[in-house]
Structure 1
Amino acid sequence: MPSAYDNRRGSVIVETEEGVLLVSSSGSYYRLPGGKPEKGEASIEAAIRELREETGLRAYDVRYLFKFHASKIFRIKAKGEPEPGSEIHHFAYFRPGKDMEVQVSENTLKILDKYYELKEKESK
């Protein structure tokens, strides 16, 4: 299994009662929270830091899920309510099978498809 400790972008899946949290800086395309590691920082650390910076949420349970292109995908349970930060001004929630009122990036949709496939396999 690939390590969560390398310099790939760390993307975060935060699943809530409303759905998976998505973020947008401009209100146009929505994506998963996350970002690139700073110098000397691992993907997992970048994911936790970016989640905090972008949403104000505090991670308390982090699980590496899979690699997608140049990103490491983590499922994070977090405390708090998302609040706009300096980079992120808009939030939305994704639910499978529900029509989205916002545009979601193509790669985000692919990541979410893979996440729900993995989740379904684990529930069997």
Structure 2
Amino acid sequence: MSSSGGYYRLPGGKPKKGEASIQTAIRELREETGLRAYYVNYLFKFHASKIFKIRAKGKPTPSNEIHHLAYYRPGKEMDVKVSYNTRKILNKHYGLEEAEDES
């Protein structure tokens, strides 16, 4: 999804008071894309962020703060700008680069 900066990034955000990381991931996905999570699995930590794999239902609809949504397909050339950290996270998840400690 892209916002005012023009670079695509993964859905995410800061937790509300008392909210667990997994709850934050589910809430942010819903708020930013309208999708409803039905499966969530913790993958790894990247810097201060916990990365989750989420399977979701629904028709993706960008929120007011999001300008456009796109799907990432590993190994396919994409005509969109992806943020540096998003590219690192996706490459690590798909095994396109060595798994390294990003904490």
2:72 corresponds, among 94, 102, 112, to 94
List 4+ stretches of structure 1 deviating above 3 A: none
CA RMSD of aligned residues (A): 1.4
1:21-70 C-alpha deviation (Å, 9 max, x unpaired): xx111261000011110111111111000000000000000000000001
- The residue that corresponds to 2:100 in the other structure is none
Is 1:104 the equivalent of 2:88? no
SS of 1:52's partner is helix
1:113 corresponds, among 91, 94, 97, to 91
Q: Distance in 2 between matches of 1:94 and 1:55?
A: 15
**TM-score, structure 2 normalization:** 0.87
Count of aligned pairs = 96
More strand by share: 1
SS of 1:66's partner is strand
**TM-score, structure 1 normalization:** 0.73
Q: Distance in 2 between matches of 1:97 and 1:25?
A: 24
- Unmatched segments (≥5 aa) in structure 2: 97-103
SS of 2:41's partner is strand
Alignment check: 8 A CA contact 1:27 1:90 kept: no
